[in-house]
Structure 1
């Protein structure tokens, strides 16, 4: 048995077009988009943004995106004005209790992204 990829389905929250724009601004490339689903990619990482709203799920959904240069991601987030534009919570890179250095970024739906190196 061999697994090739894991592509999570991420809920968009109540404003699907806003969520699509958020991920575009964050630097993900759209591979496919429809009224119900957008497939995003950055390098070899992909996920499906689903036009789905469930507050309980969204507020408990977390993803880890492992990157090569965490500081470059933080600079991009700041330069693009992501936090201000979308009124989001974000924490600058710092060492976490589990030992990884991470950015914490909450998307427009409430999903918590751990961006780590």
Structure 2
């Protein structure tokens, strides 16, 4: 059966909800509170996820999201200029890596959630 889906949204945790909210706002994402300790974070129309005030080290440090972007070099440069590792404890930004399938770089958020930003060949 084919379902007429409109979007898919994952849930991610936060070690410090306020800090994670500021982190995602600094990235340029729109954070809309839905209830206490629970927000909808919008990257772009229909590209969203839920941020919650819940932390489990094992869960957060094993959560990964992949965001496909149009121009990886420009996206990485814009990300680098933000100075996220200097502004948020635990945040790490990698260099761009070339893979057989395409290119990507990594960003760990303040709770340890691993973001992959990439382009496919």
Q: Which of structures 1 and 2 has the bigger CA Rg? A: 2
Distance 2:34 2:19 in 1: 13
Aligned residue number for residue 95 of structure 1: 98
Listed one character per residue, the Cα deviations across residues 65-90 of structure 1 (whole Å, up to 9, x for unaligned) are: 11112122211211111122114222
1:43-62 to 2 correspondences below 5 Å: 43-44=44-45, 45-62=47-64
The TM-score with structure 2 as length reference comes to 0.86
- Give the alignment's TM-score, normalised by structure 1: 0.89
CA RMSD of aligned residues (A): 1.5
Question: Structure 2 matches for 1:100-111, cutoff 5 A?
Answer: 100-111=102-113
Deviation per residue, 1:15-47 (Å, 9 max, x gap): 110000000001101233543111111222111
Q: Quick check: 1:77–1:83 contact (8 Å CA) kept in 2?
A: no
Cα distance, 1:80–1:55 mapped onto 2, change above 3 Å:
same
CA distance in 2, matches of 1:95, 1:31: 35
TM-superposed deviation, 1:59: 1.1
Q: Distance in 1 between matches of 2:82 and 2:61?
A: 24
The residue that corresponds to 1:2 in the other structure is 4
Q: Identify the residue that residue 20 of structure 1 maps to in structure 2.
A: 21
Unaligned runs of 5+ in 2: none
Q: How many correspondences in the alignment? A: 115
- Stretches of structure 1 lacking an aligned partner (at least 5 in a row): none
The list of structure 1 runs, each at least 4 consecutive aligned residues, that deviate by more than 4 angstroms after superposition, is none
Q: Quote the Cα distance in structure 2 between the aligned partners of 1:30 and 1:59.
A: 22
